[in-house]
Amino acid sequence: MSNKLFLTLICLFGTISLFAQTRGHEFAIQSDNDSFLGQGSDRYYTNGIFFYYRKALKTGNSNSLQNKVLGFEIGQKMFNPQSGYVPDATYIDRPFAAYSYLGSTLNLLFKNESNIKLSAQLGIVGPAAGGEPMQKLIHNTFGFYHLNGWQYQVKNNVQLNLGAEYNKLLARASWVDVSLASYANLGNGFTGAGLGPLVRLGNFNQLFNSVSTQSTVSAADQTGLLHKHEIFFYYKPQINGVLYDATIQGSLFNKSHDAGSLEVTLDKKPLIFSQQVGVAFTTSRFLFDVAAIFHTREVEGMLRSHQWGSITGAYRFK
């Protein structure tokens, strides 16, 4: 009897240990703002807020698939010119605009450390996206300067945007690896593509269960990981080709201006170079990613290039 009880307890604790290492669900919040870099700027991509829910799916008996993650998100991006206060339209070097959306992703992560992440977003650019009231709330709450210029913002237009990401490990040593990072977007809001390397230094895991590919949740215990917890620095330079950007150019299909409309749109630059530098780390349940992003000018007439900080926190659970 005692032997049976002992074996039962061993099996029970073994099961608890297995599930303790398996986190199948994740809630995450991401906040972007140029003020995070402490430069006192309030221009161009000035604020973003995003909420994510991710659920790991079973991979079945696949010989190639290591992990599969379904995600849902809601977010808002906000843009203004060189300042949130412009005396008149001649000072607008990047249009006032906001983009709010609902989206879903499916992340397929393979044993060879490549992944394909598919996404779809239904959103809106224009006053209905809520950029002006959100920026007013932020400025009034923290005692920032008075705003002027949202009367010139991009008009309302509904958007359907599709996207795909592809990442692939290229080389790895004990504490450093390099992978290919690429994406392509197609829609009446955002169409373009980007390509570049991702360099990681520190304690990182394989791309099928890593912060780098938003895949730290799994439906089964991920055995054979390089590290129990991740903590690494990363650098991600990228060349981005831009075919269309509705936050700069306005509606793709309706180019007519209503009588009395104050909308200001501009022409985008076809190529943008971006750099992202950050640090990411995980615990058994929590995840954090802190980064600085630097972009070259999106519009020829922009006074400066722009940069912002991004902070992501996530909680994983059974």
- Region 39-65: mean pLDDT is 93
Dihedral of the alpha carbons of 15, 21, 23, 27, in degrees to the nearest 10: 140
- Residue 21: the pLDDT is 54
Q: What is the DSSP string of 166-235?
A: EEEEEEE-SSEEEEEEEEEEEESSEEEEEEEEEEEEEE---GGGSGGGT----SS--TT-S-SS-EEEEE
| Contact indicator for 32, 308 with CB cutoff of 8 Å | yes
- Residue 259: the pLDDT is 61
pLDDT tens-digit map of 18-35: 333 578 999 999 999 999
Q: Supply the DSSP symbol for 128.
A: G
CATH code for the domain of 171: 2.40.128.140
- Residue 256: the pLDDT is 64
Percent of all residues in the chain with a pLDDT value above 70, rounded to a whole number: 91
Residues of the domain holding 185 = 2-317
Question: Interior CA angle at 53 toward 36 and 20, to 5°?
Answer: 105
Percent of all residues in the chain with a pLDDT value above 90, rounded to a whole number: 83
How far is residue 152's CA from residue 266's CA, in Å, rounded to a whole number? 12
pLDDT tens-digit map of 86-122: 999 999 999 999 999 999 999 999 999 999 999 999 9
How many domains, the chain?
1
How far is residue 310's CA from residue 75's CA, in Å, rounded to a whole number? 14
pLDDT tens-digit map of 126-180: 999 999 999 999 999 988 899 999 999 999 999 999 999 999 999 999 999 999 9
Place of tokens 């992340």: 107
Task: Report the SS3 class of residue 145.
Answer: coil
